[in-house]
Every structure is written in structure tokens, then in C-alpha cells.
Chains A and B, each alone.
Chain A
Amino acid sequence: MTETIIIAEMNGGVVAPATAELVTAALALGGAPVLVVPCTDGASADAAGFAGVSRVIAAKSPVFSSYDAAAWAEAIDGIAPAGHVVALASSRSKDLAARLAARRGLPVVQDVVSIDGGQLTSPILSGKAMQTVAVDGAAVVTVRANVMAPAAAADADVSVVDASGDLKTAVLEVVARASARLDVAEANIIVSGGRGMGEPGNFRHLEALADTIGAAVGASRAAVDTWDEIPHSMQVGQTGKTVNPNLYIAVGISGAIQHLAGMRSSKYIVAINKDADAPIFKHADYGIVATWEEALPVLSDALAGMMS
């Protein structure tokens, strides 16, 4: 039987929970799922078994200590069997997927949100349309987080294999971000503020709420462009980050098409805006027509009560 390779999503040397969703995607593509765990220490793969996965390969190499597209693709190519390859549609794994696909002479299909009998569907035009493609032969496929049900954990039959690749870039230094906050691209819950926050100092109210519910803080482009204190790394949208959290809370954000482009696929959207006609309300599951000065303290208190 052919095999389907799953590249485990790694976060700080640990297999990230979203990997369980990739198993479901691999099963939908067909072929026996083989999980490849890129790691510097084979022990990283110890608890990486999932129901349906036939075997786990800990691909052990010093190149996996920091990301280098060329070396990672080479190292994984060297130890993974042939077949479809599935990875998470995170920005790093999309990059790796494109490299690996080119290396194997396979096409890559990115940002897949559904797999149905060999047909793959992804959002295009910033989510304003969905495109379904059919693949002839094997492909490298990246799957958006939070769209597939996670596979259950199970015992793993792990083999540790040495992998190697040539680094083409060298890390000079890693500059820690000014804030120790979660990055919007990695968060399951995001609280975002727009120009309606009035001044950058008011983002502390969003930060307080974010701390209560374990969220990252995002921003609209108007906020980023207007205030130096709000870095571009927080920007969600067409020219910022594309996010796909379970919950997105937009505060003082009008909902311009370019902002929607980055967050419209969020599972649940809450909007707080004083203008009942703001376009964001058309996309909100729960809309609150009020100023943030009125609504945010109530929301924060209610959530703090619930979470404690």
C-alpha cells in the first residue's frame, strides 16, 4: 500500500497539537499515514502516536534546531518514503512544503480546507472564493488549522533515523520580540483593535482581556499605520497575517475587505463597534453595537468570572 507522509508541526521542539488534524487529512487523502517528526532529539517523537498512523519516524538532525528551508527539505526528502505529503498551513510549513514539493518534482496545494475523494478545496482571492482542484498522482498538501477533526492519541512505534541536509543560511541572532505575547499567527483566540481604539495606550484594555482568555492581540492596518507603538507584526489582513483562530474579537475595526481577507475564516467572530452599519457586523457571529469603552469592561468582567 502506498504511504502518505505527515510532517509533524513542531513548536519549540515539541510536536504541536495541530498535528492530530493532519492525521485526519492524511487519512482523507488515502495511503497509510507515516508521521515524520523533524527533531534534534529522537525523544521528541515519543508521545507522537495517533490513531490511524502506521509508523512514526523521528527524523533526527542538528539542522532542525532552527529553520532553513533548503536543509529541512533535503533532510526530510532523504528519509521520507514516496507518496502524498501533508503539512500544516503555517507560514513556516507552507514554505517547507513548497521546497519539498519542488525537490520531489511534485505540485504543492496550499491552505486546503476540505478533502473529498481526491479533490482539494482551498480559499483563493483572500477567501472571497473557494477553488477545488484534482491532483493526478502524488502532491504535497498543506492543511489549514482548525478545519479537520483531530485524530485521537495512540501508542507509537517510533524509529529514530539520522537525517542530514546542507544549511544555506546562517542565523546571526534571534532578536526577541518587544512583547512576550503570543503571536497572532500562532493563537487560537485573537483580540484585535482598530483605529476605533482612539489611541495606542488603549490597547492595554485589549491586552488585559487577552491575558484573561489566553489570546494574542492583533490590530488593523489603520492602527499599525497610525501608531508607532503598534508594530506591523500585529497586523491582520491582506498585507498582514492571515489567521484562522477559533475566536476572533474585533474591537473598533470597521471590517474593510483587506482586513476581512486575513480573518474571515475564523470559526467565531465577535465584533464591538459603535457604528451599527460597520461592515464587520455582516461577518460577526456575535455583534455588539456599542463603544468599546462601554462594552469591553463588561466583556472582560464576564469572561474573567467564567474563566476563574
Chain B
Amino acid sequence: MPNIVVLVKQVPDTNAPVSISGGAVDFSGMKMVMSPYDEFALEAALRHKEAAGGEVTAVTLGGAGADKILKDAKAIGADHIVRLDHDGWADSNAVQGALAAAIRDLGAEVVYCGKSAADTGAGSTGPGLAEHLGWASASNVLALDFGADVTATVPAEGGDARLSVSLPAVFSCDKGDLKVRKPNVKGIMQAKKATVDVRAAQVGASSVRVVSCALPPAKPEGKTFHGGAAAADVARLLREEANVL
């Protein structure tokens, strides 16, 4: 029975406006949530367990504030919740190294994560982690079938490819056809009582450092027209002014 890990990350709510102070994003007062794609990863992990048995451990790398999303994962159905204690910046290599060490310790054979995190948008963790572990990976996963091997549907040139992936493997999940379940009352009660298994994170040195953050450059004021007939003017401007057609 597979020992299943799902990676979850705490990120600012995607509805939250962003402000910058002193060259850094001001996170104070921002509502923090589980990164949206991680919800699909958690759903995939739970379905894998339902199909093949085993247990699901939700793992995050973060500070104490991230306990909340672990409890959310617990309420939805994760069996165990683990936080690798770390605050502050780490580059892709340092993050993946710490996660790889923890996944080896946990003895997992399959890892699910979101296809990218809503804060960085990078999408590096799944494939990078798989390389650190020497495992197979499939990214942008749209659908999964669980047998001896896992069959993953991913976008490919000319259509959607069905890939046979032998475990151990890392799957980075897109929204696809997964409808995520909501926590039930029992889950919420269990999550309240659950304790987070906090472990030291083995975060190596980073060779990338953040210099500064800024708001995106303001776009020049657009032109607004009223009435459908103006669409002809816009067509002309697209060619003559914007040069895009």
C-alpha cells in the first residue's frame, strides 16, 4: 500500500491586493490560504489512497503560520500533517533539497503537488524534487488512473497524452477533471484536535537572493470607445497604432 505525500504551500489569497513597502511585498494583513492547485493535488492523493490503500501525509515547508493549511488538509482527509520548520527565503535548489530529505525520511513512494504555487507561479518544485529523488515525474496532470502503475493524462503536442508512470513518482496537478471535496464536520473536528508534526528542515544554502520587489509598471491609460460601431476604429488602431495585426 503506497505511502502517499501531498505537498501544500501557504500563499496569499489570490483576491488580496498587493502592496509594497521598503522594496518587499507587505504580507501583513494578507489572508493566507492553501495554494489553489495544491487542493487538486490533495484530492488526487486522497483518490490514490481510496484506490490503492495506504496513508496520505500532507507536508509543508514554512513557519508556524503555515500550520493552518495543514489543518485544512487534515480536515479534508489527510492522515498525517508534517511541517518542515523554515522561515524566510530559499531558492529552488534549497527548497527541493529540504523536501527531498523529508520525503526520504517519510519513506514515501508517490508525491502529489500543485502544478505551480500561486505566489511564485514557478512550477519548479514537482519536477525538481523528482530529479533530486531520482524519480519519474509528470506535470500539468489533468486526470489520473490508479493501477499497479499510475496513468496520468497530461497536455502534449497535438492533444492529451496518457502516460504510464511507474512509482516512485512525483505528479504536479492541474485543475483538470478533479472536483475537490469539501471538509465535513467530522474532519473539521479531527483537524481541530490534530497536532502538527514539526520537524527541522534541512535547507541548504541559496545562490539566488531577492534584491527587491516592485509593483508592475503602470500601463499607459487605454482608449475607451462607446457603441459597437467603434469596433471598426479599434480594428484600424490594432494595425496602425499597436502594429499587432
Interface size class of A (residues with CB under 8 A): 35 or more
Contact B212 A287 (CB under 8 A): no
Residue of A nearest to B207 (CB): A136
Interface centre among A129, A246, A297 (most CB of B within 10 A): A129
Query: With A102-B127, A232-B177 in contact, do A125 and B237 touch (Cβ < 8 Å)?
Result: no
- When distances are taken between beta carbons in the complex, the residues of chain B under 8 Å from A226 are none
Residues 265-308 of A contacting B (Cβ, < 8 Å): 267-270, 272, 276, 281, 283-291, 293-299, 301-303, 306-307
Is A124's CB within 8 Å of the partner chain B?
Answer: yes
Contact B161 A283 (CB under 8 A): no
Contact A170 B123 (CB under 8 A): no
Residue of A nearest to B212 (CB): A132
- What is the minimal beta-carbon distance from B115 to any residue of chain A, in angstroms? 8
Is A135's CB within 8 Å of the partner chain B?
Answer: yes
Instruction: Render B145-171 as a binary contact track against A, CB cut-off 8 A, 1 for contact.
Output: 000000111011111111111100100
B20, B131, B164, B235: which contacts A99 (Cβ < 8 A)?
A: B131
- When distances are taken between beta carbons in the complex, the residues of chain B under 8 Å from A293 are 228
Interface centre among A281, A283, A287 (most CB of B within 10 A): A287
Query: With A130-B213, A290-B226 in contact, do A239 and B36 touch (Cβ < 8 Å)?
Result: yes
A238, B121: Cα distance in complex, Å: 9
Is A47's CB within 8 Å of the partner chain B?
Answer: no
- When distances are taken between beta carbons in the complex, the residues of chain B under 8 Å from A109 are 92, 208
- When distances are taken between beta carbons in the complex, the residues of chain A under 8 Å from B235 are 299, 302-303, 306
A11, B120: Cα distance in complex, Å: 26
Contact A69 B139 (CB under 8 A): yes
Instruction: Render A116-139 as a binary contact track against B, CB cut-off 8 A, 1 for contact.
Output: 000100011111111111111101
Interface centre among A105, A128, A134, A289 (most CB of B within 10 A): A128
Contact A240 B159 (CB under 8 A): no
A242, B135: Cα distance in complex, Å: 27
Choose the segment among A36-44, A90-98, A154-162, A191-199 that binds chain B (4+ C-beta atoms closer than 8 Å): A90-98
A285, B234: Cα distance in complex, Å: 10
Is B196's CB within 8 Å of the partner chain A?
Answer: no
Is B245's CB within 8 Å of the partner chain A?
Answer: yes
Is A21's CB within 8 Å of the partner chain B?
Answer: no
Is B91's CB within 8 Å of the partner chain A?
Answer: yes
Query: With A110-B121, A213-B245 in contact, do A125 and B12 touch (Cβ < 8 Å)?
Result: yes
Contact B162 A172 (CB under 8 A): yes
A307, B238: Cα distance in complex, Å: 12
Is B242's CB within 8 Å of the partner chain A?
Answer: yes
B122, B176, B219: which contacts A111 (Cβ < 8 A)?
A: B122
Residues 190-208 of B contacting A (Cβ, < 8 Å): 206-208
Residue of A nearest to B169 (CB): A168
Contact B216 A299 (CB under 8 A): no
Choose the segment among A26-34, A51-59, A80-88, A173-181 that binds chain B (4+ C-beta atoms closer than 8 Å): A173-181
Contact A127 B216 (CB under 8 A): yes
Contact A238 B123 (CB under 8 A): no
- What is the minimal beta-carbon distance from B181 to any residue of chain A, in angstroms? 17
B118, B223, B229: which contacts A298 (Cβ < 8 A)?
A: B229
- When distances are taken between beta carbons in the complex, the residues of chain A under 8 Å from B158 are 12, 174, 176-177
- When distances are taken between beta carbons in the complex, the residues of chain A under 8 Å from B57 are none
Interface centre among B208, B223, B227 (most CB of A within 10 A): B208
A232, B115: Cα distance in complex, Å: 15
B120, B214, B225: which contacts A286 (Cβ < 8 A)?
A: B225
Residues 135-151 of A contacting B (Cβ, < 8 Å): 135-137, 139
Is A187's CB within 8 Å of the partner chain B?
Answer: no
- When distances are taken between beta carbons in the complex, the residues of chain A under 8 Å from B242 are 247, 267-268, 285-286
A22, B5: Cα distance in complex, Å: 36
B131, B152, B214, B216: which contacts A103 (Cβ < 8 A)?
A: B131
Beyond A239-B175, A303-B235, list 8 extra A-B contacts (CB 8 Å): A66-B156, A101-B128, A119-B211, A172-B164, A175-B160, A175-B162, A247-B245, A306-B236
Seen from chain B, the residues whose Cβ lies within 8 Å of a Cβ on chain A are 12, 14-15, 17-18, 20, 25, 36-37, 91-93, 96, 118-132, 135-140, 142, 151-153, 155-166, 169, 172, 175-177, 206-216, 219, 222-232, 234-239, 242, 244-245
Top 8 closest pairs, chain A to chain B, by CB: A294-B228, A302-B235, A168-B136, A102-B131, A299-B231, A98-B124, A298-B231, A295-B228
Seen from chain A, the residues whose Cβ lies within 8 Å of a Cβ on chain B are 11-12, 66-67, 69-70, 73, 91, 94-99, 101-103, 105-111, 119, 123-137, 139, 168-177, 183, 185, 189, 213, 232-233, 235, 238-240, 242, 246-247, 257-258, 261, 264, 267-270, 272, 276, 281, 283-291, 293-299, 301-303, 306-307
A-B contact pairs, 26 of them (CB 8 A): A12-B157, A66-B161, A69-B127, A69-B137, A70-B130, A70-B137, A94-B123, A98-B122, A98-B128, A107-B91, A111-B122, A126-B14, A132-B214, A134-B209, A134-B211, A135-B207, A168-B135, A175-B159, A177-B158, A239-B175, A276-B224, A288-B234, A293-B228, A295-B228, A295-B230, A306-B236
